[in-house]
Amino acid sequence: MSQPGSAPAALPAAGAEPHLLVVDDDARLRNLLQRFLAEQGFRVTAAADAAVARQALQSMAFDLLVLDVMMPGESGLELTERLRREGHEVPILMLTAAGAPDDRIAGFEHGADDYLAKPFEPRELALRIRTILKRAAPALPANLPLAPVQLGAHWFDPERGELRGQDGTQRLTGGEAALLCALARRAGEVLTREEIAAALGTPEAGERAIDVQVTRLRRKIEPDPREPRFLQTVRHRGYVLRPGT
């Protein structure tokens, strides 16, 4: 079990299990999560704070971060925002004792993929982790067209979760790619926020949470996110993806 300021402790690798980084300053909870998630078939590395988490991220590759919001020093929100700003696309599930809607929205605004309020049922945590990993996997859903989707000067490759254009390739986070895939599967159709949340495997997500994710995606696919051409809002109904040149 990691102690504050110490090197992260990792369970031995075993095959191709998803590798999780659990970051929480509560040593008891951190130890419980490490043991439970290992029993669920995950490879787990634990870190006591953001500084130790950064050390781990520099030396190891992770499939998902389980990140506590309220930590001394650099908070989970601050760490998430900085990781996204630095180009890290690893999915992030945030844990927090503050479970109000505004707190969940703040998590999404800072770049989190999902949010779970404490206290929580461990089996729900494992289920959410698997849902995020499935959503972030590069494998293409069976009902998604294989052809890339044109968005102006860019092409969205749904299999790789990438935006390609003359200015290079831009990798999307797992949540962003999943949202764009869900919209691309029904391009030209208006999807309600409830339909989008269900397609993302997060039916409990509120309307504002979906709006925040759409805003994040627009920053990457729209020439001017304030005047969206491709991912449009249909007032009182939802959103529609309109691919094109």
Domain finish residue from 103, 136, 169: 136
Q: Which of 19-23, 28-32, 180-184 has the lowest mean pLDDT?
A: 180-184
Residue 40 lies in a domain: yes
pLDDT in tens, 35-56: 999 999 898 999 999 999 999 9
Residue 195 lies in a domain: yes
Q: Are residues 184 and 241 in contact, defined by beta-carbon separation less than 8 angstroms?
A: yes
Q: Are residues 222 and 169 in the same domain?
A: yes
Q: Are residues 60 and 170 in the same domain?
A: no
Q: Are residues 98 and 190 in the same domain?
A: no
pTM of the model: 0.61
Q: Provide the domain count of the chain.
A: 2
**Domain that residue 65 falls in:** 9-136
Domain finish residue from 136, 170, 198: 136
Residue 2 lies in a domain: no
Q: Are residues 97 and 70 in contact, defined by beta-carbon separation less than 8 angstroms?
A: yes
Nearest to 109 by CA among 92, 121, 97, 126: 92
**Residue type at 130 in one-letter notation:** R
CATH number of the domain bearing residue 233: 1.10.10.10
Q: Are residues 126 and 22 in the same domain?
A: yes
Query: Which 3-state string (H, E, C) describes 83-151?
Result: HHHCCCCCCEEEEECCCCHHHHHHHHHCCCCEEEECCCCHHHHHHHHHHHHHHHCCCCCCCCCCCCEEE
The reported pLDDT for the residue numbered 97 is 79
Q: Are residues 156 and 57 in the same domain?
A: no
- The values of phi and psi at residue 123, to 5°, are -65, -30
Q: Are residues 120 and 161 in the same domain?
A: no
Q: Are residues 115 and 27 in the same domain?
A: yes
Q: Are residues 76 and 19 in the same domain?
A: yes
CATH number of the domain bearing residue 106: 3.40.50.2300
Q: Are residues 120 and 222 in the same domain?
A: no
Q: Are residues 94 and 154 in the same domain?
A: no
What integer is the mean pLDDT of 198-207? 78
pLDDT in tens, 137-194: 654 444 544 578 999 999 998 877 888 988 888 888 888 888 998 898 888 888 999 8
